[in-house]
Structure 1
């Protein structure tokens, strides 16, 4: 064997070793997520995970069952009720009407909903509804704080926004939303409709890893604008790609959506208060900025966050909701942490 040939063999061996270690270094999250999902204590995972970067799939897997009774395996294309992630869609639909001049963010809600009985309808604005700073706990009761002074999360304000959208468009919220999904080519995204057979997985209530079917996850069609959109991880990734890259709202409107004047704490986003814009949480004090939202209850959990600097999108959907609130986002929190500490952030 000549000296030149030996050097060539050595060079190729070094190249193979270095490329192998680079590949391992490049993907330092998949095996961690796989190991995490194997955990069954304190609760098990039953859902779908999708992670993308710059439009390319980095992780895409389904675990568990779409129907626990007949053990039908979940598929990554399966549809879930996304619960409060629906609020982000309602916020965008509201802002699109703002762009058309049909809604004024600083106008009192009585302008659009004149039949409201409470006097606060003259002081609470559309802006207050969007970022939960209105002080509304119940539509039939007085405010619990002065508008803009605090944060109170709930479904009522986004049900009101759905009604405002109907008022200014002269159409059902369901039809306005479904039209947007068609326009964005989100073919598997649509509104829940009571009494209508729809393509989605079954939702379950989890109590100590004992599962019970949730027969009626959405009480009525009025709830759709707050918690009743049905979608899958693929379409929600499309939504995030288009929303965060200026393909749904004008730049100035998107800036309004992602600017905050109020902060709030949420377990899925950490122990500290972070910003809340319009249907979106903004974590800009962490080492890596990210934006997103959650949804959960009535047999479903949804979680999605987007990291603007690295163009990483993380979406997790589960067809179970835990009775123990401390375990609600158990896996979602850890998946976020794995991603935030991975090579995807470099």
Structure 2
């Protein structure tokens, strides 16, 4: 009897903690994101967010303006410049030609560029262009390092990949990419063409403490075309979710080529993906040393910022697109980083 009396406080405590009155707080990732995007310091959020789990929407919100001058609100269906998230599209297009036997990942690129004067064309491979380990700073300059030994992120590597694609397919990059989007039923995704599509894209802004101003980076026609394989694709969160679902569920590439895309031999650090070095595959970053594995990429510039992450163990997809680019470089990915942290500490992936 005495032992029972001693145990009563513990039994009562266990009962109360398990009762509705003392239930553990539910995961409030949605409330945390809501609170975050309404803050204005150190900068304002202006964009759209889509988070899904096993294909079901867990969070979807548009916040801010598609056009500040006309005060037109953003919607979840709006199209954005996805910038460097374009690179994984180029990587997939290359790998689809690998599947057809038209591209060899490990042949020297001299095979595709006989006109290059530099001798490094005899040693650099398509594989090294894809994972930025080629060391090419400029076409007419020596390499920055021996191919395969380091990481150098640049537009030029993916411009060259776009050129290779055109050489082996006989199509322009725009034709090849747009055909793939049509095949995947990504009806709001396309390569940016100034005169043709410009009113299908939300306006891009540069943000500062004084507010938002239209971002205008002049490009020649050649510069624009060269940029498309590296950062010139337009899409929205719904289409990008289709892309992630089909890519990571084996509906675009053969398993062996998906494995090539998401395996790495080189590592690099990037502010949007955390302080540590993580792997770089083909147009995607692979974080597999952290507690929660994720695969994805970020993009910024021309009045936009974005991040797109897929968490394979829980089939969670996180996409954030903004039509603003901060003048303060330390704030480029401020909200993208914070949202990533909220998701990684939520019940969605744990």
Q: TM-score, length-normalised on structure 2? A: 0.91
Residue 7 of structure 2: aligned partner: none
Match of 1:344, SS state, is coil
2:107·2:125 contact (CA, 8 Å) conserved in 1?
A: yes
Runs of 4+ in 1 over 6 A off after TM superposition: none
Unaligned runs of 5+ residues in structure 1 are 1-13
Match of 2:86 in 1: 86
Report the Cα distance in structure 1 between the residues aligned to 2:21 and 2:111, rounded to whole angstroms: 64
1:190–1:230 CA contact under 8 A, matched in 2: yes
2:256 aligns with: 252
Question: What CA distance in whole angstroms lies between the structure 1 residues aligned with 2:72 and 2:65?
Answer: 5
Offset of 1:164 from its aligned partner? 0.3
The CA distance in 2 between the partners of 1:217 and 1:278, in whole Å, is 29
Q: What TM-score do you get using the length of structure 1 for normalisation?
A: 0.92
The separation in 2 between residues aligned to 1:36 and 1:299, in whole angstroms, is: 21
Secondary structure, counterpart of 1:343 in structure 2: coil
Gaps of 5+ in 2: 1-15
Q: Name the counterpart of 1:304.
A: 308
**Secondary structure, aligned partner of 1:268:** helix
- Matches for 1:132-281 after TM superposition, within 5 Å: 132-198=132-198, 199-216=200-217, 219-281=223-285
How far residue 137 of structure 1 moved from its aligned partner, in angstroms, is 1.2
Note if contact 1:192-1:221 (Cα within 8 Å) is conserved in structure 2.
no
Q: Deviations over 1:277-332 (max 9, x none)?
A: 00000000001111100000110111000000011000000001112111010000
**Retained in 2: the 8 A contact 1:217–1:298?**
no
> What is the CA distance between 1:20 and its match in structure 2?
12
What's the counterpart of residue 109 of structure 2?
A: 109
Q: Deviations over 1:133-174 (max 9, x none)?
A: 000112221110000110000110000000000000000000
Separation in structure 2 between the aligned mates of residue 316 and residue 114 of structure 1, nearest angstrom? 41
What is the Cα-based RMSD across aligned positions, in Å?
A: 1.7
CA contact (8 A) 2:43 2:208 kept: no
Length, aligned pairs only: 329
